[in-house]
């Protein structure tokens, strides 16, 4: 059997970086809904980290993804450190990508039910860091295709819009409830419409991040082909 070349392995790694978490979230949330454990239709993604089969899928899938992100960031640095005019930015994005990966690994084990504060802290690290990482990658990679660059920048903006929507709606729910932090037991009290909208914002944020990774895959493939 023919072995994959180094560039082909990089493309496979990039593909895994968004395909694995995409299917992890779809599968774990589907199990959560179908098992009757979901509070409502528009749940937060992390609510699928619930005791049972969905937790096994959620934790294992995101832990593997976090390790992939850390390794992928290092691989991107090795591949482009000699060809980018913005090496310092590439170094910053590499450190950021490793940090995001480790935060995701931690988040996968810190569920929102038993480790609420730790979960929120690591989740915000992933959310904030993911958008900044996407921008750093966007400006540090060598210029290839304008269409791909536009796709990546649009994906960053889509994630940012999702994050703003999620944050604004959550804050409105907190104001309605009269406290800054909404615990899991209190979510149903302010679910409609505030947390419904916040959950949709979170979905948009995550989809935008997957689109960023997809655009990086296209970019690296085009660079390697050249």
The DSSP string of the chain is -PPPPHHHHHHHHHHHHHHHHHHHHHHHHHHHHHTT--SSSS--GGGG--TTHHHHHHHHHHHHHHHHHHHHHHHHHHHHTTT-S-HHHHHHHHHHHHHHHHHHHHHHHS-TTT-HHHHHHHHHHHHHHHHHHHHHHHHHSPP--HHHHHHHHHHHHHHHHHHHHHHHHHHHHHHHHTSSS--GGGGGGGIIIIIHHHHHHHHHHHHHHHHHHHHHHHHHHHHHH-
Q: Calculate mean pLDDT across residues 41-67.
A: 97
CA distances, 51 to each of 56, 118, 185 (Å): 8, 18, 16
Query: pLDDT tens digits, residue range 147-169?
Result: 998 999 999 999 999 999 999 99
Domain range holding 44?
Answer: 8-225
pLDDT at 34 (0 to 100): 97
Is 198 part of a structural domain of the chain?
yes
Asked, for residue 1, whether it belongs to a domain, the answer is: no
Cβ(182)–Cβ(174) under 8 Å?
yes
Residue 74, domain member (yes or no): yes
Residue 35 in domain: yes
- What percent of the chain lies above the pLDDT cut of 90? 71
Tell me the per-residue pLDDT of 96-114, one tens digit each, with 9 for 90 and over.
Answer: 999 999 999 999 999 999 9
What is the reported pTM? 0.92
Query: Measured in whole angstroms, how far is the alpha carbon of residue 36 from the centre of its chain?
Result: 26
Q: What is the pLDDT of residues 123-135, one digit of tens each?
A: 999 988 888 888 8
pLDDT of residue 35: 97
132-139: long-range contacts (C-beta < 8 A, 24 or more apart)?
132/96, 133/73, 133/93, 133/96, 133/97, 133/100, 134/159, 134/209, 134/212, 136/89, 136/90, 136/92, 136/93, 136/96, 137/76, 137/93, 137/97, 137/212, 137/216, 139/86, 139/89
Domain contains 160: yes
Position 173 in a domain:
yes
Residue 3 domain flag: no
Number of domains in the chain: 1
């Amino acid at each position: 059997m023919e072995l994959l070349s180094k560039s082909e392995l990089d493309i496979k790694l990039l593909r895994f970086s968004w395909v694995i978490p995409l299917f992890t979230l779809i599968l774990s949330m589907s199990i959560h809904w179908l098992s009757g454990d979901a509070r409502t239709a528009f749940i937060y993604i992390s609510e699928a980290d619930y005791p049972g089969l969905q937790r096994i899928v959620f934790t294992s899938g995101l832990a593997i993804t976090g390790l992939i992100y850390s390794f992928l960031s290092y691989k991107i640095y090795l591949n482009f450190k000699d060809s980018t005019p913005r090496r310092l930015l590439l170094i910053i994005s590499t450190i950021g990508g490793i940090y995001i990966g480790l935060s995701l690994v931690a988040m996968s084990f810190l569920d929102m039910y038993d480790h609420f504060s730790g979960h929120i802290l690591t989740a915000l690290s992933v959310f904030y860091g993911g958008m900044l990482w996407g921008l750093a990658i966007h400006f540090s990679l060598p210029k290839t295709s304008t269409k791909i660059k536009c796709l990546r920048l649009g994906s960053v903006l889509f994630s940012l819009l999702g994050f703003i929507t999620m944050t604004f709606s959550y804050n409105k729910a907190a104001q309605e409830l009269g406290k800054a932090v909404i615990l899991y037991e209190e979510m149903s009290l302010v679910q409609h419409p505030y947390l419904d909208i916040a959950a949709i914002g979170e979905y948009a944020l995550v989809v935008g991040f997957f689109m960023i990774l997809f655009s990086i895959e296209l970019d690296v493939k085009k660079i390697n082909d050249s």
